[in-house]
């Protein structure tokens, strides 16, 4: 089953005016802290999964049970274990250790509760006494944290505030799953047209693109390894268990066009003023990745037809009209991600490494 998307792009610039008010205060900034596992659930000696729930429930301890069940569901999916909901329901709140019939053990953290979300961490290894870390914010200019843009990331899922706050973290997984489908295999069927006209006092250009980019239906488990906050948007780094991505040498990818004989391409969305229908960063990332996949497909093979006309009608006039037809199956590896804002709207750049044939 393929995720199906049609799109058309024309060269147009939309100018929008926006303003931002900045408030200054002499009060010292208090840095937020949280359990270290909240933004780094996978470390060298521990793989863990985070479950979320609303902090209040109509049933006694319902939020704790629901959060444990959701964390355990992710863990079970990754490790190939059966559904654990019934066993978790019979576990008292004080008990944080579950032994399965096959002898496998699952450990749960104490809940971490904010004003709108209850978090619980689950792992197959004992969880260390709670250690707090400062909240991690995304800084794309400085590439902090490093996994954002040094080639270490597998798939990045992003989510703006959701209708229910405890669903924001799970939504990053949903969005990452969709991007994984594009990167593991995408069918590109695109037609582009580029026209230029010259006269004594004018030069005009027009570019248009229409067609489809279909991503595959990726259903294998993803594991969240890191996250950071960018304003109201949460970015989470996901690793694909079965789909092995190549380790690459850390470097700046923004001036590189090839790596070990394979193409490195840039894709962008929003640079020309185009706005995603929902104005979400997660959508802009998807469109930028699709743009980069088109560039990979064009590098792989393209059919070009062109016409040129030279007229003399009261002055010289030259017209060129070029059509590009692209039909390829491609894959890519996300190397770098850059997010900026222009007139209050997200502009996203991505760099992809061409996948193996």
What digits encode the pLDDT tens for the residues 63-118? Answer: 999 999 999 999 999 998 999 999 999 899 999 999 988 889 999 999 999 999 99
Sign of the torsion formed by the C-alpha atoms of 127, 132, 133 and 135: positive
For the segment 240-265, the average pLDDT, to the nearest whole number, is: 71
The pTM score is 0.81
Which residue from 181, 329, 157 is spatially nearest to 243, judged by alpha carbons? 181
Phi/psi of residue 215, nearest 5 degrees: -90, 155
- Range scoring the smallest mean pLDDT among 149-158, 259-268, 337-346: 149-158
Structure tokens at 159: 């989510």
- Range scoring the smallest mean pLDDT among 49-58, 230-239, 313-322: 313-322
93 touches 61 (CB < 8 A): yes
138 touches 337 (CB < 8 A): no
**DSSP SS3 for 87:** helix
Sign of the torsion formed by the C-alpha atoms of 24, 27, 28 and 29: negative
Average pLDDT, the chain: 84
Report which of residues 27 and 104 the model is more confident about. Answer: 104
Please classify residue 303 by burial: count the beta carbons closer than 10 Å to its beta carbon, then call 0-12 exposed, 13-18 middle and 19+ buried: exposed
Sign of the torsion formed by the C-alpha atoms of 336, 263, 250 and 42: positive
Cis ω for the linkage preceding 145 (within 30 of 0): yes
- CB atoms closer than 10 angstroms to residue 255: 7
**DSSP SS3 for 4:** coil
- Range scoring the smallest mean pLDDT among 98-102, 165-169, 249-253, 325-329: 249-253
**Is it the case that residue 128 has pLDDT exceeding 80?**
yes
d(CA 85, CA 155): 28
What pLDDT shows up at residue 357?
58
d(CA 71, CA 51): 4
How is the chain split into domains, by residue range? 1-10+146-357, 46-124
Indicate the DSSP class of residue 256: -
Report which of residues 209 and 312 the model is more confident about. Answer: 209
8 touches 193 (CB < 8 A): no
**Is it the case that residue 60 has pLDDT exceeding 50?**
yes
What pLDDT shows up at residue 5?
45
For the segment 133-151, the average pLDDT, to the nearest whole number, is: 86
What pLDDT shows up at residue 233?
93
What pLDDT shows up at residue 173?
95
**Is it the case that residue 262 has pLDDT exceeding 80?**
yes
What pLDDT shows up at residue 178?
93
The confidence band for 14, taking pLDDT boundaries of 50, 70 and 90, is very low
CATH 3.40.50.300, applies to 46-124: no
The confidence band for 136, taking pLDDT boundaries of 50, 70 and 90, is very high
**Is it the case that residue 127 has pLDDT exceeding 50?**
yes
Report which of residues 224 and 342 the model is more confident about. Answer: 224
């Amino acid at each position: 089953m393929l995720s199906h998307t049609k799109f058309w792009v024309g060269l147009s610039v939309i100018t929008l005016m926006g303003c931002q008010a900045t408030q200054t205060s002499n009060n010292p900034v208090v840095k937020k802290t949280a359990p270290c596992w909240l933004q780094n659930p996978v470390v060298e000696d521990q793989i863990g999964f985070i479950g979320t729930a609303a902090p209040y429930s109509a049933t006694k301890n319902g939020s704790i049970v629901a959060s444990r069940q959701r964390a355990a569901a992710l863990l079970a999916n990754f490790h190939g274990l059966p559904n654990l909901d019934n066993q978790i329901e019979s576990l008292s709140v004080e008990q944080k250790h579950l032994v399965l019939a096959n002898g496998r053990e699952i450990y749960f953290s104490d809940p971490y509760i904010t004003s709108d979300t209850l978090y619980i961490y689950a792992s197959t290894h004992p969880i260390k006494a709670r250690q707090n870390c400062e909240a991690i914010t995304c800084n794309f200019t400085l590439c902090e944290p490093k996994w954002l843009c040094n080639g270490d990331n597998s798939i990045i899922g992003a989510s703006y505030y959701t209708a229910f706050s405890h669903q924001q973290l799970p939504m990053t997984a949903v969005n990452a799953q969709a991007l994984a489908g594009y990167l593991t295999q995408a069918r590109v069927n695109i037609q582009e047209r580029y026209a230029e006209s010259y006269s004594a006092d004018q030069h005009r250009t027009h570019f248009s693109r229409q067609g489809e980019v279909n991503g595959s239906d990726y259903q294998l488990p993803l594991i969240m390894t890191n996250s950071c906050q960018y304003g109201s948007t949460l970015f989470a780094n996901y690793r694909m268990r079965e789909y092995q991505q190549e380790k690459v040498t850390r470097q700046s990818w923004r001036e590189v066009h090839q790596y070990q004989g394979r193409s490195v391409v840039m894709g962008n969305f929003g640079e020309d003023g185009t706005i995603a229908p929902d104005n979400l960063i997660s959508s802009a990332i998807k469109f930028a990745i699709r743009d980069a996949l088109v560039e990979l497909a064009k590098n792989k093979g393209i059919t070009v037809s062109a016409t040129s006309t030279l007229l003399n009608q009261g002055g010289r006039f030259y017209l060129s009209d070029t059509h590009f037809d692209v039909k390829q199956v491609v894959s890519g590896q996300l190397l770098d991600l850059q997010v900026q804002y222009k007139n209050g709207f997200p502009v996203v750049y991505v760099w992809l490494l061409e996948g193996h044939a």
